[in-house]
């Protein structure tokens, strides 16, 4: 199987090379196409030379702008880091406060339940005194 794959790959590679060479020959055989290629190459070279010249002439300004922009970006990142730290601290404080509030609420609910249980116990003991007619009092009249 490997031999078939290798033969197919070699044939495909040879076909690509032959077609590429023939395409180049056809392009250069046609005068208009050849002139367009040469003109395009000259224009590209000219544009690259202009860009290179611009970069050479304005190198110091470009470097200064890059440094300034880099410093500004650094300051913005520091500010953002400070703000994020502040938000994180406040969120942690809010979390602690919420947990504390929850604990206090549960504690208050338990105390209310205990008071209710005490009230029920007292009402039972008061109801047991219903069989007493009257408690003795000091009447001076």
Question: Radius of gyration of the chain from Cα atoms?
Answer: 47
Q: What is residue 126's predicted lDDT score, i.e. its pLDDT?
A: 52
Which residues, given as ranges, of the chain have pLDDT below 50? Answer: 1
Q: What is residue 43's predicted lDDT score, i.e. its pLDDT?
A: 95
**pTM of the predicted model, to two decimals?**
0.43
Domain residue ranges of the chain, discontinuous segments joined by +: 15-120
Alpha carbons within 13 angstroms on the beta-carbon side of residue 121 total 6
Residues in the chain: 141
Q: Which two tokens stand for residue 139?
A: 């009447």
Q: What is residue 78's predicted lDDT score, i.e. its pLDDT?
A: 95
Q: What is residue 127's predicted lDDT score, i.e. its pLDDT?
A: 52
DSSP assignments along 2-32, one per residue: HHHHHHHHHHHHHHHHHHHHHHHHHHHHSHH
Q: Report whether 55 contacts 62 (CB < 8 A).
A: yes
Q: Report whether 46 contacts 53 (CB < 8 A).
A: no
Q: What is residue 36's predicted lDDT score, i.e. its pLDDT?
A: 86
Count the Cβ atoms, other than its own, within 10 Å of residue 15: 10
- The CA distance from 141 to 137, in Å, is 12
- Report CA 51 to chain centroid distance, whole Å: 37
């Amino acid at each position: 199987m490997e031999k078939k794959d290798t033969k197919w790959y070699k044939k495909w590679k040879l076909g690509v090379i032959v077609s590429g060479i023939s395409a180049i020959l056809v392009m250069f055989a046609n005068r208009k196409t050849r002139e367009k290629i040469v003109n395009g190459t000259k224009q590209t070279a000219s544009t690259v030379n202009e860009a290179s010249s611009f970069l050479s002439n304005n190198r110091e300004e470009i470097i200064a702008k890059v440094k300034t922009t880099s410093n500004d970006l650094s300051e913005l990142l520091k500010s953002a880091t400070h703000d994020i730290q502040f938000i994180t601290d406040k969120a942690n404080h809010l979390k602690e406060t919420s947990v504390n509030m929850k604990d206090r609420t549960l504690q208050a609910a338990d105390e209310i339940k205990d008071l209710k249980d005490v009230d029920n116990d007292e009402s039972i003991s008061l109801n047991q005194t219903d069989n007493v007619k009257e408690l003795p009092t000091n009447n001076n009249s």
